[in-house]
Chains A and B, each alone.
Chain A
Amino acid sequence: MTVYLVRRLGFLVISFAIAMVVLFLLLRVLPGDPANALLSVNATQEQIDAARAQVGADLPLFQQFTDWFGGVLSLDLGSSFISSLPVGPEIAARMSVTIPLTLLSFALALLIALPAGFIAAVRADRWYGILLSGFSQLGIAVPVFWVGMLLVNVFAVNLRWLPSGGFPRDDWANPGAALTSLALPVITIALVMSASLTRYIRSATLDVIGSDYLRSARAQGASFSGAFWRHGLRNGIVPVISILGIELATTFLGAVVVESVFTLPGLGSMLLTAIQQHDYPNIQGILLVSTLLVLVIGFLADVAQRLIDPRLRTSISGNGIR
């Protein structure tokens, strides 16, 4: 297991380093120039040159990269071209919205999807089982911003139960107000997310129900639920966990879209603005942090799978020793 952990960590570091290079280069091949965002259309060439020099866009690519890479190693993500505010603290402030939004949405999605997926599988022959399947199929096809707009229309504009958007100016000083602001966005993401999760959990449950070991357990006299909880759960949850890792990352990315629908000052809205303005330090900082988060989630999911399933443990670490 230790060998596996070290190898998996090494893989994480290498992926991260590759991601940094790709990210940096991709941004530089985008058409456009950060100086354009800073200036008005009647700017003179001197003004444009001055703006480029000011943000360092006139330096050779390699030097820009080493400057940035060096900064990242010392935990300094640089300063925004546009606002000249340091990128790191800005990202941290935005995270105080995006992280709770992601985790709450994911938790709610699980809360919906676990029973729904299970019932859809176990009661696949009943009308409500079929209905749940149908809904989850529908949910996959619906874009998240559309669900958001629909919910706003119903619960904010017509019923006036919840705010249509925004976030308290004093952040989490009043947790009740902050949670109220997050309610609709969380429900939006959770509804869409739970649709695909329900599909995965349903098929994982169906696999377990149809498995030989469950039939054997029942043949030895175990009740269906006894056999399911004792043998089925542990077997069935392994593929689900790897999916959950991916889905958590997807939720994080879904938050980006939802933030703009609900005017939340999170990482997503920061990223959109930064892209419009070619604010490379901000874009790089956000993508770097997001990439790191996604990689870490993947890492944790892999480790969790191996903790649960001894078969994975032996096969992989066995190879590692030889």
Chain B
Amino acid sequence: MKRSTGAIALSVAAALALSGCAAGGGTSDTGAATATDATIEVGSLYEPQNLSNVGGGGQGVTEALTGNVYEGLFRLTDAGEVEPVLAASNTVSDDGLTYTFTLQDGVTFHSGDPLTSADVKSSIERVTAEDSQSARKSSFKTIADIQTPDDATVTITLSEPSISFIYNLSYIWVVNDAATDLKTTEDGTGPYTVGDWKRGSSLSLDRWSDYWGEQASNKEVVFNYFTDATALSNALVTNQIDVITSVQSPDQLSQFTDNPDFVVNDGNSTTKELLAFNDKVAPFDQVAVRKAVYSAIDTEKLLNSVWGDYGTLIGSMVPPTDPWYEDLTQVNPYDPALSEKLLAEAGLADGFEFTLDTPSYDPHPAVAEFLQSELAKVGITVNINTISADEWYSKVFKERNFEATLQEHVNDRDVVWYGNPDFYWGYNNPQVTEWVAEAERASSTDEQTAKLKLVNEQIAQDAASVWLYLYPQIVVASSDISGYGVNGLNSQFFVSKIVRG
């Protein structure tokens, strides 16, 4: 949820290229042979703080390195599907507890060491280790045992079935088990090696000629890092960079939208803007009050005022790219009259007053003011309390000392958090908790999807939170280049299929 640690995403073309189509916002197909010596300049706001994905490197680590320098057994494609990469094949036992993976042949690390099952084992253990700071660590609690019967085979035993296991594996980089100092150096199997890392400025990736798969379509990719959104846009306008991985401010878009030199790609993000109640404190412990607040807010007008024509309205925690998406936007419609009726039912006909803890960075302050004026119309007084990202973490997330708050939740497939009664928003519906657990133990993805749809519908019925809108995922690029991905999945930005011309 905090930008620096979460996972907004971009993703890309490697996936599309593998499936045989060269697309992703660009116009031309893979160009002439000369284009393969191109240097692609990428602009981003997310500089990695180190090169490790288990040591607080931030989302910039995923953006620059996942799929480019490091690969996993599986990958999450731009379209949100999971496909094998370093796993040549895999089988699951009938009880869903034992997974056997056969590794791709002829894969070597950048250092020259061959890929073996021991590397896979140590890579998983790196993420689950005591001192690991991986956001995904808790996803692997069910791993009971990892065996390496031979160099090409890994067998993983789980303590209980976990339908998301393969999906979760897509977050794990396969790293050479002999590598040390992974915060400042790398040893992966991807199509690029890390060239030059100039802190505060740029990180360059060089095409690696011994890559086991298809060679990268460009010679070098440089991630240029900016702290200021205007400076980032200016760099694209002046051709210093070729593409912006993620535009965070709609103000910057107007100079690109009607300009034939640039392409504005409107992709799918998984970042949801939430008005999260503390469901444990009065009056938000009453479903009717939460629904009343929901129906008092014109989310369409809000989205339009923040993002103009971009972004999507959602009716629950589930974005359209999650397999269990359903359109639930009418469960809690915008209807001030309904809102007043619900308030009266809850015995609050005269309205009430609450404090909204608002993170100080965009877009939250503007959203808070919008909510203040909307809710005033049905007699609810909102006191805006502006707090830093850090205070949010300690006051809201850890101490639960709040009535309501605003926050962006960036991860895909994160509706399952409503099954955790100990999460910060305090939503506790035992039926939902049970469904989430059943979904994870499901024997098929259909069963999982069915259960999570139930969850999805129930939290919308209960107005567990107000899901204000889904952020747009906007990639702006020079019309010279093509082959990049446009969707927002877990901050990934695969660069190996980007071509110029």
Contact = CB atoms under 8 A, between A and B. Distances in A.
B237 A54 contact: no
Contact of A39 (B133, B231, B235): B133
A152 B394 CA distance: 39
Nearest to B234: A164
Which of B50, B200, B234, B238 has the largest number of chain A CB atoms within 10 A? B200
Nearest to B56: A38
B234 A50 contact: no
B235 to A, nearest CB: 6
A277 B231 contact: no
Contacts of B237: 157, 164
B329 interface: no
Contacts of A40: 1-2, 5-6, 133, 135
B201 A31 contact: no
A85 interface: yes
Given A94-B200, A265-B199, A272 B227 contact: yes
A165 B393 CA distance: 33
Contacts of B394: 31-33, 36
B238 A163 contact: yes
A156 B199 contact: no
B383 interface: no
B390 A32 contact: yes
A269 B235 contact: no
A165 B232 CA distance: 9
Contacts of A54: 131
Contact of A269 (B133, B200, B393): B200
A47 interface: yes
A167 interface: yes
Contact of A83 (B4, B183, B225): B183
A269 B390 contact: no
Interface residues of B, number: 46
Contact of B5 (A41, A46, A260): A41
Contact of B393 (A41, A264, A272): A41
A94 B201 CA distance: 11
Contact of B130 (A43, A50, A152, A264): A50
A38 B138 contact: no
Contacts of B183: 83-85
A157 B234 contact: yes
A15 interface: no
A131 interface: no
A41 B397 contact: yes
Contacts of A85: 50, 183-184, 199
Contacts of A42: 135, 138
A163 B236 CA distance: 11
A142 to B, nearest CB: 18
B133 A51 contact: yes
B235 A38 contact: no
Interface string B45-82: 00101100001110000000000000000000000000
A85 B394 CA distance: 27
Interface string B215-227: 0000000101111
Contacts of A113: none
Given A41-B1, A263-B227, A84 B50 contact: yes
A12 interface: no
A261 interface: yes
B301 interface: no
Contacts of A38: 55-56, 133
A208 B305 CA distance: 60
A82 B131 contact: no
A33 B397 CA distance: 14
Which of A37, A44, A157, A160 has the largest number of chain B CB atoms within 10 A? A37
B228 interface: yes
Contact of B201 (A41, A157, A169): A169
A160 B390 CA distance: 40
Nearest to A30: B390
A72 interface: no
Interface string B373-398: 00000000000000010110110010
Contacts of B135: 39-40, 42-43
A149 interface: yes
A271 to B, nearest CB: 10
B1 A83 contact: no
B199 A261 contact: no
B204 interface: yes
B360 interface: no
B252 interface: no
Contacts of B238: 156-157, 160, 163-164
A39 B4 CA distance: 9
A84 B2 CA distance: 22
A93 to B, nearest CB: 7
Interface in A123-171: 149, 152, 156-157, 160, 163-167, 169
Given A47-B133, A261-B231, 14 more contacts: A39-B56, A40-B135, A41-B393, A83-B49, A85-B50, A164-B237, A165-B234, A169-B202, A262-B231, A263-B224, A263-B225, A263-B227, A265-B198, A270-B199
Interface of A: 31-33, 36-44, 46-47, 50-51, 54, 82-85, 90, 93-94, 149, 152, 156-157, 160, 163-167, 169, 260-266, 269-270, 272-273, 276-278
Interface of B: 1-2, 4-6, 47, 49-50, 55-57, 130-133, 135, 137-138, 183-184, 196, 198-202, 204, 222, 224-228, 230-231, 234-235, 237-238, 240, 388, 390-391, 393-394, 397
24 contacts: A32-B390, A32-B393, A33-B390, A33-B394, A36-B393, A40-B2, A41-B397, A44-B138, A50-B131, A51-B133, A83-B199, A90-B199, A156-B238, A157-B237, A160-B238, A164-B235, A164-B240, A165-B234, A165-B240, A169-B196, A169-B204, A263-B225, A265-B200, A273-B47
